[in-house]
Amino acid sequence: NAGVTQTPKFRILKIGQSMTLQCTQDMNHNYMYWYRQDPGMGLKLIYYSVGAGITDKGEVPNGYNVSRSTTEDFPLRLELAAPSQTSVYFCASSYSTPVNQPQHFGDGTRLSIL
């Protein structure tokens, strides 16, 4: 019953460093999503993918990159970390569109950039 697994759970980065947030799901879901949640705010969509090899931008894609080489994995890359990217990042997946099949979320990665 792994569902959606995100690693790491916590990370502190220095300004300008890069890192990859990992997300993997074992439910054979086609759709995968990355969100960020800032304090007192709702979740904002960064990128999403409707299948292997297909990705698209969400509301707040600047400063991030994604790839989807397999159905299971959807890593999120930060190339030049900035303090504005301090947030909690959630990965989610669903078999189909987010109303026909509700999204399943990971437990999040808390990222601080100092």
Partner 1 sequence: DQQVKQNSPSLSVQEGRISILNCDYTNSMFDYFLWYKKYPAEGPTFLISISSIKDKNEDGRFTVFLNKSAKHLSLHIVPSQPGDSAVYFCAARGDIYGGATNKLIFGTGTLLAVQP
Tokens of 110: 């808390």
> For residues 104 and 94, is the Cβ–Cβ distance under 8 A?
yes
- Using CB under 8 A as the binding criterion, the count of chain residues that bind partner 1 stands at 26
Which of positions 43-82 make contact with partner 1 (CB under 8 A)? Answer: 43-45, 48, 50, 56, 58-59
Look at phi and psi of residue 111 and say left if phi exceeds 0, alpha if psi is from -120 to 50, else beta.
beta
Burial class (CB in 10 A: 0-12, 13-18, 19+), 73: middle
DSSP tag of 30? S
Q: CA 16 to CA 82: how far, in whole Å? A: 6
Nearer to partner 1, 85 or 93 (CB): 93
Interface characters, 24-43, with partner 1 (x: CB under 8 A): -------x---x----xxxx
Q: Which stretch in 12-20, 67-75, 76-84, 95-103 sits in contact with partner 1 by CB under 8 A?
A: 95-103
Q: Does 103 bind partner 1 (CB under 8 A)?
A: yes
Q: Does 105 bind partner 1 (CB under 8 A)?
A: yes
Where along the sequence are the contacts to partner 1 (CB under 8 A)?
4, 31, 35, 40-45, 48, 50, 56, 58-59, 90, 92, 97-99, 102-108
